[in-house]
Amino acid sequence: MRYDSITDAIGNTPLVRIDPAVHGLRSIDLYAKLEMLSPFGSVKDRTAWNMARPELAAAVESGSQIVELSSGNTAKALAVIAGMHGLRFKSVTNRMRIPEIKELLLLLGAEIEELPGQSECLDPTNTEDPLTLFHQALSGSDSPLLHTDQYFNPRNIQAHAAGTGPEIITDLGGAPDWFIACVGTAGSSTGVATVLRAHDPSVRVVGLVAAKSDFIPGIRTRDEVHEVGLFDPRTYDSIEEVDSGEAIDGMVTLIRRCGMLAGPTGGAAYFGALRHLREIDATLTERKTAVFIVCDRVESYLSYIRHRRPELLGGTRARHAIGDLTAAEVAAAPAISVQDARPWIDAVRPLVIDLRSTFAYSALHMAGAVNIVDEIFGELLRGGLPFSLKQPVLLACPVGEQSARYAALLTRMGHPDCRSLTGGIVAWRDAGAPLERD
Ligand SMILES: Cc1ncc(COP(=O)(O)O)c(C=O)c1O
C-alpha cells in the first residue's frame, strides 16, 4: 500500500471475527471493526479529517487556529492534522482526567484549555455554563478560529456514513443483524446505523453508555448523552449501560485472548455486545452476524487501569477502593441534608472535604472546607484513613453522588461518623447557605 499522505490511510480498517471459543456464542458470528488501527489511533480520525478537510485551505490562508471541545481522540487527530498544515490547534475540555492523554496532546503540539464541568457548581452569580462561555469566547475571539464543532457538525456523522458503515457492508457482503457501539458524540453510531438500516431495515442497533456516575473515557453516561447535539434516541433500538469494571473486563479479554490491543471503550463494546446477544443466541435456529466497534488502543489508558485494577499492572489490589463498593453499600451511605448539616457543622466541627476540582473549589466553597479532588482522595484512602476515627467528616461534591460513594467507603473502613452532603454543593448553594471565595 502506497500513499501520498498519511491522511489517505484513514479508514478501510479491518473487520476481524472474534474466535467463538472466546465469546461462546453458538449461532452468532461476532466481528470487531478495528478503528484503533487508523493512523492517529482511533475512530475519530475519520471524523476529524472529514470535518477539517473542506476548511483547511481557508484556514491556512487566514492563519486560523483549529479549536475543538475534546479531551481525547478527536483532539489527537485534529492536533496532528493541524500540525501537518502549519496550523495551531487548541483543545478545550472539562477536567482532563487521564494524564497521559494530556501529555500526548501536548506532544502532538496541542494547546489545552481546561474548563470546569457544568455540574461542578461555580459562582452562583454567574449563570453562564462552561459551554456557553466557550461559544462566547469563540465568537468574541480577535484571532481567526476554525471550530470543527464535533458535537453538532453533521460531517461527523457523514464521515461514518461514507466510510465505516459501507466498509462493514462490503466486508460482510451485507448488513449485520446487530450493530453495537459506544456513544460519545454519537457520530460513529449514527453514521453507521443510518447506512446499515438503509441497506437492511431489520438491523438492530445497540448504543452503549457509561453507568450513571461512572467514567469510561470517550463515552457519555445515560444522562449526559442527551446534551449531545447529534444524539437522536431513535437511532438506537436500545441504549444500555456498561460500568468501568465491565469495560476493563471486556478490554482484557480482547487484549489477552483476541490479540486486539483495545482501549476501555472497545472493551465496553465487546462486553455490551455479548451481554445483549447471549440470551438471544440461545433461541436462534439460523446463523446471524453482529459487529461492534473497537474505537482506540489501550496504551493511553494505563493510569486509568492502574487506578481501577492495579493488579493488572503488577500492583496489588487496593483494600479500599470505591470500585469495589456494592450498590447497596452506596445506597446505605450515611448522608445529611443541607438543613441538618448546618447545625451539625456548628456542633461537631467536622472536617469538610470538598471533592470537586480545584477550579470549582477556588471559585466558591463552604467555609473551612479542604479541597481534595475525588480521584486524589481515592488514592489517599488506598493507603488507609488519613484522619482520626474520632474526627467527624462531611464530604461534599457537585450533586452528592461521588460523596455518597466515598462516605460508603469510609464507613466500610470503620469510620463511625462520616456523612455525604445530600444534593452536594448545588443543594447547599440553592438553599442559600454561605459559600466563600479565597
Ligand atoms: C475512546 C472512544 N470511544 C468511543 C467514542 C465514541 O465515538 P462517537 O463520538 O462517534 O460517539 C469516542 C469518542 O470520542 C472515544 O474517544
pLDDT at 131: 64
Could you give the C-alpha distances from 114 to 91, 153, 218, 238, in angstroms and in order?
8, 22, 16, 33
225 CA distance to ligand 1 middle (Å): 12
pLDDT at 324: 77
pLDDT at 123: 46
The binding-site residues of ligand 1, defined as CB within 6 angstroms of any ligand atom, are 42-44, 72-74, 182-189, 218-219, 263, 265, 295-296
Looking at 51-55, 189-193, 267-271, 399-403, which range is the least confident one? Answer: 399-403
Backbone φ, ψ for residue 155 (5° rounding)? -70, -15
pLDDT at 233: 95
Q: Which ligand 1 atom sits nearest the alpha carbon of residue 186?
A: 11
Quick check: 127 pLDDT over 50? no
Q: Which residues in 301-319 are b (16+ Cβ under 10 Å) and which e?
A: beebbebbbeebeeeeebe
Q: 311 or 207: which carries more pLDDT confidence?
A: 207
3-state helix, strand, coil in the chain (%, to 5): 45, 15, 35
Domains of the chain: 6-43+154-306 (3.40.50.1100), 44-147 (3.40.50.1100), 323-430 (3.40.250.10)
Pocket-testing residue among 34, 38, 42, 46, ligand 1, by greatest number of atoms within 8 A of Cβ: 42
Quick check: 258 pLDDT over 80? yes
Q: 105 or 227: which carries more pLDDT confidence?
A: 105
29 CA distance to ligand 1 middle (Å): 24
Quick check: 122 pLDDT over 80? no
What is the C-alpha to C-alpha distance for residues 223 and 239, in angstroms, rounded to an integer?
11
Q: 96 or 232: which carries more pLDDT confidence?
A: 232
Pocket-testing residue among 78, 265, 298, 301, ligand 1, by greatest number of atoms within 8 A of Cβ: 265
Identify whether the C-beta of residue 356 lies closer than 8 Å to the C-beta of residue 402. no
pLDDT at 116: 66
Mean per-residue pLDDT for 75-99? 91
Coil, helix or strand at residue 279 = helix
Each residue's pLDDT tens digit, 295-351: 999 999 999 998 888 899 988 777 788 877 888 899 999 999 999 999 999 999 999
Give residue 4's pLDDT band: very low, low, confident or very high (50, 70, 90): very high
Identify whether the C-beta of residue 205 lies closer than 8 Å to the C-beta of residue 193. yes
Cell numbers linked to 434: 454561605
